Amino acid sequence: MKVLRDLLRDYRFTASFIILCILLAYSSLSFFSPIDPTVWVAIARDQPPSSQHLLGTDSRGIDIFWSGAFAIRNSLIVALVAGVVSRFITIPVAMLAGYKGGMTDRVLMFISDSFLVIPLFLIIVLLAVLIRENLSLVTLGLLLACFGWAWDARVIRSEILSLRERGFTQTAILSGSGTMQLALKEYMPFVTPLVFATLINVMAWAIGLEITLAILGLIKLDIPTLGTMIFWALSYQAILLGRWYWLLTPVILSVLLFIALYWLSVSSSEYLDPRSRIQRVGQSLRA
Amino acid sequence: MLFIRRYLIPRLIQYVLVIFVGITAVFFIPRLLPTDPVARTIAELRSRGSYLDPASIDAMVADLTEMYGLEGSSFDQYIAFWQRLFRGDFGVSFFQFPTPVIQLIKAALPWTLGLLLVTTAIAWTAGILLGGVAGYFNRQGWSRALDVLAMVVRPMPYYVFAFILLLLFGYIFPLFPVAGGASIGRQPSFSWPYISDVLRHAFLPAMSLIILGVTAWFQTMKLVVQNLNAADFVQYARFGGIKERRIVSRYVIRNGMLPQITALALLIGQIFSGALITEIVFTYPGLGTLLYNAIMTGDYNLIMGITVFSIVAITTAILVIDLLYPLFDPRIRYN
Amino acid sequence: MDKIILTTRQLKAFYLLDIHGRQKVVKAVNEVELEILENEIYGIAGESGCGKSTLLKTLAAVVEPPLRQLEGKVIYHINGEEVDVSTLGDEEMRRLRWEFVSYVPQGSMNVLNPVVKLKDTYHDFISSHVKGKSQEETFRMAKAYIAELGLPAEIMGAYPHQLSGGMRQRVTIALATLLRPKIIIADEPTTALDVIVQRGVMQLLKDIQQKLQNTIILVTHDMGVHANVADRIGIMYAGKIVEEAPTEKIFSQPLHPYTQFLINSLPKFGDKTPRQSVPGSPPSLADLPTGCPFHPRCPQVLDICKEQMPAYIAAAADHKVACWLVEEENGQAA
Amino acid sequence: MDKLLEVKNLTKVFSLGSISSRIRITATDDVSFYIKPAEIFTLAGESGCGKTTTAKMILGFEEPTAGAIIHKGKLRTKKEKVWFTEGIQAIFQDPFGTFNPLRTVDRYFFETIQNFKLAGNKKTAVELIDRKLKAVGLSYEEFAGKYPNEFSGGQLQRISIARSLLTDPTLLIADEPVSMVDASLRMSIVNLFKKLKEEFGMSVLYITHDLATAYYVSDRIAIMFRGNIVEMGTVEQVLMQPRHPYTQMLRDSIPEADPRRRWRGRVNLNETEREEYLKQGCRYAGRCPLVMDVCRQEVPADIQVDNVLVKCHNYSEGVIA
């Protein structure tokens, strides 16, 4: 509770917290949706916003309000799968490279550097072109997870590298701790905030790529996501025909989501980063 | 010389290795997937409604197999793949048959290169300068205001941001052309009307890349400089009564830009991807739009070609930045 | 009588911190009274966390939030005039730096701009203070000074990382004294150095002081260094100067119990008799005990020590101490 | 058994850089010494002399390039990654870094007990911890559940010693244990070493650059210079009548806390900072006031002079008797 109160002092955290709560509530409405967002022309097409259709309907005869709710949910699923699964690559790679050092470190860092250096977008496109029919939410998430771990692994590895040089590593070894104990008990408390902050970044990155791939028509287009909503609005010329509400809904939703995720990441990592926090307190006390 | 052995050679080795690994991955990834590019292309044609009789399908399969270099064992294909690459042969485009892929890339490259180089240079320099000054004066109101602004713009992905600019200045306030690299029908020439036409067309894609770039560099630089403010040599310079303008330029920015050079090398691949996406939004006639057309027509060879070419180009750019770095950091030069 | 160069009156400088909404006051400099003379080396001794670095900041007039000078004055005696530092504007203060008051930092490792040559750093400092001189002229001036101090001339073309620690520290001392300041503030100038290098660096500082006939305010925790170079020593404890006397007196007849412990705990060659540390631990400046801050550790504590901070007593003309014990003895004697 | 730990011809060469470029730095060069039971042995020298590397090799944190480490008559083998930590324990320079700032200090005590199976249940564990803490002048109550930042440097260093005592070691390696502790608290640590020796019969390998505390606490001392031991003997002999020119210089440069004994004469630092990793000969030859031609050619042998080991040609050549 105290943590939350402290965090709420940061305007960025407060804003992102509120936006995310609203977006989550909105997306959870999709579980009670009266319509199926994949069925075309069940209702009148191209209706402007009204009390019956809060955000109007699109040219396919789908209610925009409800497909927005599904879109957020589905985009978040992609992001969560990509974010969480990539942690299972990031953390072991970072721990191994940072702690073992030497040849292990060099090989692992070469691989992750290669991932950073190569224009991943093109490789993902290449893959997506080949498997586009099978690119469901979870597959897309998994695909992105395979590519979204390298930067974070680098960040966490350099943290481990500096932790390894700290005195308490030697104290732990002299206390009889093995490598696993060292990693979990000594290093995890330092690494957790980083893992969390980078997780949010990867999620935002995944949502952005989902949108881009969808606009290029490279994922399953009948699943409502933020990206596919934009895709359909564009392919039905929604701007030229004055159906702004159709295009604006997914665009505004995604902008809100990006800002909220980014601010959450920045504010919470600033708060959680034990180094900066301890330094701040420590420095002021030593005076 | 120590510098060559400790800095140059490792980097050259890394350069060659990354290209090798990247291209090998590009070669093998499609082959490891269950889908077959030949079958894909034919399905693509069918879905476009072309009628194909079984005989012509067989002929086509054979043609495509040869064209995609899918003959023989994977190893033979792999060797053949490299041999063609060294000749600069990326095969022919399937949907602009029989134009070689390399020719299409060559035509699109100047547009992308121009856009990318100019915007990256402006964004990096402006971001470093702004971030440096804002970081040094981080207690001042304007510095905080800039920070808030950057906090709003920074999280936008390239596509979304370009799209918002397109809506704003293309449709709501139609100030700039929204598509193409130059007006249709204009002949390329070194005349002001043509150049201004090109610049006007480039304005929105460039703005979109520059604004996103500046905010990103601004934020990282500001953070670096805020930490540098506490650095002993900055404190000492202030204590010594050195004029603030000099502290900002020679102490804070000069040192703060070093990590940004490294960051530029690491991020150039992402910046490149962003430029491709931005081009697609504005149908700017560079590699991005070429890629878009290739995706839309299922032109597998062209996508491969663009990918392989980009890997080499980006890795080379990184190498160049890495090699320039010692010019700015004497600790690397003399160690 | 010797001329005074720097005075502080009832100087109070605290850190006002806000740590996630909780206020905290760190009383780093608490009612410090100093009178520092021209042509002397004044040593300030104290342990880590006693506020000696903060005291130096206030003496040098670099008081930036969260540090605040709440009460009292720092007075520079410039050409016989008393100048209250807090009344000076930014530009006036900037000019005094290096010309009147200069600073030798603890770790010269990081105080020199790592990406420019030393001659450029010298140029930065000179050109910010000396007007109307070309880069070449200032460079010549710096070179002559370097030679005068017996440092090799080639170092001007070197980058900081190319020098050894001792050389870097001496280059920094040369830089700090280039404009012949009246006061040199030296904050732990030899702490990270090996003993032989330390000796060379202190030797250089002393040489410069003798040449310029100016004042060095030397802060170090190393009583050995104080014994070797300081003329007078102030002992600082928990934000206060608890005792002040000429160096010989501090070592031969310390009056404050803290000073006594400090001196007696130092091991000496040729003497293996058991020595004791000061009992307990130094207090946190954010949470000071009432009365005399040393009373929780003092073996001879009186009731009054717990309630009231003792005032300074002049045990001799040049020896003052803040301790109720001394006050009592004096009282009985009187 | 008169040798608790013996180190023979210990050499460590660090290779820096990548495959294409190797820089070889000899951190310790043919270092030999031994520590007797219930003895405080000091390894002293300036930064970069190789004293900490020696300690790390004894602890198994570094692998020696050559040489042998023999503990209680048993040769250390490479397989034992972290070597006999029960018999040998260590404390380090930075008391504030010894414990993880995000964890309570007592966790290390319970983990040591758990990992080495030193107690059957929580109650006996607490009793054991309390006993060890009492030995260093602290108690379980004033320590349980606290984070490192709640203690002073001196307290942390004593807590660190108490932790190392849990396994009842016979040798404590103390790497610069007081250099970051305030002068007024130093003696509380140094006196503890004496107590460990006298009451528990432990030996201490005291690594320091501070010759004054070394004189106060230790029995024998070895002076290291650029990877070599240049002089070794009892502290009375080595520090009160130094024989090696380097030791003499070092001893003269120590600022003594006595205004009547100020530095006499001057040092010339420009001389001292010359490249001293000579390919051949004595490494001190570059600035030795007694340098001879042979010093630049040949590495001096270890000479015994009145039971003191001196690595100097002046003694082997009979220049000084």
User: Does residue A37 form part of some domain?
Assistant: no
Rounded CA separation D50/D259 (Å)? 33
- Is residue B173 within 8 angstroms of chain A, CB to CB? no
Q: Identify the pLDDT of residue B130.
A: 96
- Residue range A165-177: average pLDDT? 89
Residue B295 has its nearest CB partner, among A12, A113, A129, at A129
Asked whether the beta carbons of residue A116 and residue B280 sit closer than 8 angstroms, the reply is no
- Is residue D150 within 8 angstroms of chain A, CB to CB? no
**Local structure of residue A243 (DSSP, 8 states):** -
**Residue numbers of the domain that contains D179:** 5-87+169-266
Rounded alpha-carbon distances, angstroms, from residue D137 to B72, D200, D205: 80, 15, 21
Please state which of the ranges A78-92, C172-186, D7-21, D294-308 shows the lowest mean pLDDT.
Answer: D7-21
Chain C residues near any Cβ of chain B (below 8 Å): 60, 62, 93-98, 102-103, 105, 107, 109-117, 120, 124-125, 128-129, 159, 161-162, 176
Q: In chain C, which among 232-291 make CB contacts under 8 A with chain A? A: 284-286
DSSP structure string for B189-225: -SSHHHHHHHHHHHHHHHHHHHHHHHHHHHHHHHHHH
Instruction: Decide which of D162, D192, D212 is a domain's last residue.
Output: D162
- C331 min Cα distance to partner chain A (Å): 37
Rounded CA separation D83/D77 (Å)? 9
- B189 min Cα distance to partner chain A (Å): 33
Rounded CA separation D314/D295 (Å)? 9
pLDDT in tens, B119-132: 999 999 999 999 99
Instruction: Decide which of D216, D237, D266 is a domain's last residue.
Output: D266
Asked if D180 and D145 sit in the same domain, the reply is no
For B102-297, give the CATH class.
Answer: mainly alpha
Identify which of A226, A224, A195 has the alpha carbon closest to the alpha carbon of residue A210: A226
CB-based contact D230:D310 (threshold 8 Å) = yes
Residue A118 has its nearest CB partner, among B152, B154, B269, at B269
Instruction: Pick the residue of B136, B137, B242 with the most C CBs within 10 A to test the interface with C by mutation.
Output: B242
CATH assignment of the domain containing D14: 3.40.50.300
- Residues of chain B with Cβ-Cβ distance to A261 below 8 Å are 155
In Å, the largest CA–CA distance within chain D is 68
pLDDT in tens, A10-21: 788 899 999 999
Identify which of D311, D22, D41 has the alpha carbon closest to the alpha carbon of residue D197: D41
Tell me the sheet residues that pair with B255. none
pLDDT in tens, B15-26: 999 899 888 888
Tell me the sheet residues that pair with D207. D43, D175
Asked whether the beta carbons of residue B331 and residue C112 sit closer than 8 angstroms, the reply is no
Residue C269 has its nearest CB partner, among D151, D154, D239, at D239
Asked whether the beta carbons of residue D111 and residue A181 sit closer than 8 angstroms, the reply is yes
Chains that touch A (3 or more CB pairs under 8 A): B, C, D
Identify which of B17, B20, B64 has the alpha carbon closest to the alpha carbon of residue B40: B64
Is pLDDT larger for residue A245 or for residue D39?
A: D39
Asked whether the beta carbons of residue A127 and residue B29 sit closer than 8 angstroms, the reply is yes
Asked if D68 and D18 sit in the same domain, the reply is yes
Rounded CA separation B147/D284 (Å)? 57
Peptide bond into C189 cis (omega under 30): no
- Chain D: residue nearest B13 by CA? D20
User: Does residue D81 form part of some domain?
Assistant: yes
Asked whether the beta carbons of residue A185 and residue D103 sit closer than 8 angstroms, the reply is yes
Q: In chain B, which among 8-47 make CB contacts under 8 A with chain D? A: 9-10, 13
Strand order in the sheet with D220-225: D88-91, D171-175, D203-208, D40-44, D220-225, D228-234, D308-310, D303-305
Q: Is the predicted pLDDT of residue A276 greater than 50, yes or no? A: no
- Residue range B295-322: average pLDDT? 89
| Residue count (chain C) | 334
The amino acid that residue B317 corresponds to is: A
Asked whether the beta carbons of residue B241 and residue C113 sit closer than 8 angstroms, the reply is no
Instruction: Look at the block and give the residue holding tokens 């002293």.
Output: D44
Asked whether the beta carbons of residue C125 and residue B240 sit closer than 8 angstroms, the reply is yes
Residue A286 has its nearest CB partner, among C21, C48, C66, at C48
User: Does residue D190 form part of some domain?
Assistant: yes
Asked whether the beta carbons of residue D90 and residue A177 sit closer than 8 angstroms, the reply is no
Asked whether the beta carbons of residue D257 and residue C275 sit closer than 8 angstroms, the reply is no
The mean pLDDT of chain C is 88
Tokens of B224: 């670096």
CB-based contact C197:C165 (threshold 8 Å) = yes
Rounded CA separation A255/A90 (Å)? 27
Tokens of C304: 């009054």
- Chain A: residue nearest B41 by CA? A130
User: Does residue A83 form part of some domain?
Assistant: yes
- C85 min Cα distance to partner chain B (Å): 15
pLDDT in tens, C137-159: 777 888 888 888 888 888 888 89
Q: How many CA atoms lie within 13 A of B212 on its CB side?
A: 24
Q: Identify the pLDDT of residue A285.
A: 29
Rounded CA separation D299/D319 (Å)? 16
Residue A168 has its nearest CB partner, among D90, D97, D116, at D97
pLDDT in tens, C22-81: 788 889 999 999 999 999 999 999 888 888 989 999 999 888 878 888 889 999 999 888
Rounded alpha-carbon distances, angstroms, from residue C167 to C149, C155, C162, C197, D270: 12, 9, 10, 9, 8
Peptide bond into B98 cis (omega under 30): yes
- D10 min Cα distance to partner chain C (Å): 25
pTM for this prediction: 0.85
Q: How many CA atoms lie within 13 A of A50 on its CB side?
A: 10
- Residues of chain B with Cβ-Cβ distance to D20 below 8 Å are 5-6, 9-10, 13
Asked whether the beta carbons of residue C114 and residue B330 sit closer than 8 angstroms, the reply is yes
- Residue range D180-206: average pLDDT? 91
Q: Is B40 helix (H, G, I), strand (E, B) or coil?
A: helix
User: Does residue A218 form part of some domain?
Assistant: yes
Q: Identify the pLDDT of residue D39.
A: 95
Identify which of C130, C132, C137, C117 has the alpha carbon closest to the alpha carbon of residue B242: C130
> Which of B281-292 are b and which e, b meaning 16 or more Cβ less than 10 Å from the residue's Cβ?
bbbbbbbbbbbb
Instruction: Look at the block and give the residue holding tokens 């005039």.
Output: C81
Q: In chain D, which among 125-154 make CB contacts under 8 A with chain C? A: 151-154
Q: Is the predicted pLDDT of residue D312 greater than 60, yes or no? A: yes
- Chain C: residue nearest D185 by CA? C277
Rounded CA separation A170/A139 (Å)? 43
Q: Identify the pLDDT of residue D129.
A: 94
Q: Please count the structural domains in chain A.
A: 1
pLDDT in tens, C180-216: 999 999 999 988 788 888 998 999 999 999 999 999 9
Q: Identify the pLDDT of residue D78.
A: 63
Rounded CA separation A3/A14 (Å)? 13
The mean pLDDT of chain A is 84
- A181 min Cα distance to partner chain B (Å): 33
CB-based contact A113:A174 (threshold 8 Å) = no
Residue A251 has its nearest CB partner, among B151, B163, B304, at B163
Q: Please count the structural domains in chain D.
A: 2
Chains that touch B (3 or more CB pairs under 8 A): A, C, D
| Residue count (chain D) | 321
Rounded CA separation D267/D71 (Å)? 42
What percent of chain D has pLDDT above 90? 45
User: What is the sign of the dihedral through the CA atoms of B306, B312, B315 and B319?
Assistant: negative
- D6 min Cα distance to partner chain B (Å): 38
Asked if D261 and D201 sit in the same domain, the reply is yes
CB-based contact D284:D250 (threshold 8 Å) = no
pLDDT in tens, B81-140: 898 888 888 888 877 777 888 999 999 999 999 999 999 999 999 999 999 999 999 888
Most confident segment among B132-136, C263-267, C274-278: B132-136
**Residue numbers of the domain that contains A230:** 6-29+63-286
Strand order in the sheet with D66-71: D23-35, D5-16, D66-71, D74-75
Q: Identify the pLDDT of residue A55.
A: 80
User: Does residue D32 form part of some domain?
Assistant: yes
Rounded CA separation B81/B62 (Å)? 18
A287 pLDDT band, cuts 50/70/90, is very low
Chains that touch C (3 or more CB pairs under 8 A): A, B, D
Q: Is D91 helix (H, G, I), strand (E, B) or coil?
A: strand
- D16 min Cα distance to partner chain B (Å): 10
B41 pLDDT band, cuts 50/70/90, is confident
Is pLDDT larger for residue A131 or for residue A161?
A: A161
Checking phi first, is residue C83 left (phi over 0); if not, alpha (psi -120 to 50) or beta?
A: beta
Asked if D178 and D76 sit in the same domain, the reply is yes
User: Does residue A39 form part of some domain?
Assistant: no
- A145 min Cα distance to partner chain B (Å): 16
Q: How many CB pairs under 8 A join A and D?
A: 63
Rounded CA separation A237/B11 (Å)? 49
Q: Is the predicted pLDDT of residue B51 greater than 90, yes or no? A: no
Identify which of B149, B148, B166 has the alpha carbon closest to the alpha carbon of residue B158: B166
Chains that touch D (3 or more CB pairs under 8 A): A, B, C
Tell me the sheet residues that pair with C244. C234, C320
Chain A residues near any Cβ of chain D (below 8 Å): 166-168, 170-177, 181, 185-186, 189-190, 274, 278, 281-282
Q: Is the predicted pLDDT of residue D235 greater than 90, yes or no? A: yes
Asked whether the beta carbons of residue D21 and residue B9 sit closer than 8 angstroms, the reply is yes
Asked if D76 and D107 sit in the same domain, the reply is no
- Chain A: residue nearest D159 by CA? A171
Asked if D26 and D42 sit in the same domain, the reply is yes
- Residue range D250-254: average pLDDT? 91
Identify which of B172, B171, B150, B168 has the alpha carbon closest to the alpha carbon of residue B160: B168
What ipTM was reported for this prediction?
A: 0.83
| Residue count (chain A) | 287
Rounded CA separation C202/C166 (Å)? 11
Rounded CA separation C35/C5 (Å)? 8
Q: Is the predicted pLDDT of residue D155 greater than 70, yes or no? A: yes
Please state which of the ranges A196-210, B70-84, C109-123, D54-68 shows the lowest mean pLDDT.
Answer: B70-84
CATH assignment of the domain containing A205: 1.10.3720.10
- Is residue B308 within 8 angstroms of chain A, CB to CB? no
- Residues of chain C with Cβ-Cβ distance to A285 below 8 Å are 26, 49, 284-286
CB-based contact D213:C159 (threshold 8 Å) = no
CB-based contact D266:D273 (threshold 8 Å) = no
D271 pLDDT band, cuts 50/70/90, is low
Please state which of the ranges A189-193, B132-136, B259-263, B331-335 shows the lowest mean pLDDT.
Answer: B331-335
- Residue range A139-143: average pLDDT? 91
Helix-strand-coil split of chain C, %, nearest 5: 35, 25, 40
Instruction: Decide which of D243, D266, D289 is a domain's last residue.
Output: D266
- Residue range A23-28: average pLDDT? 94
Q: Is the predicted pLDDT of residue D259 greater than 50, yes or no? A: yes
- Residues of chain B with Cβ-Cβ distance to D21 below 8 Å are 2, 5-6, 9
- Domain range annotation of chain B: 102-297
D287 pLDDT band, cuts 50/70/90, is confident
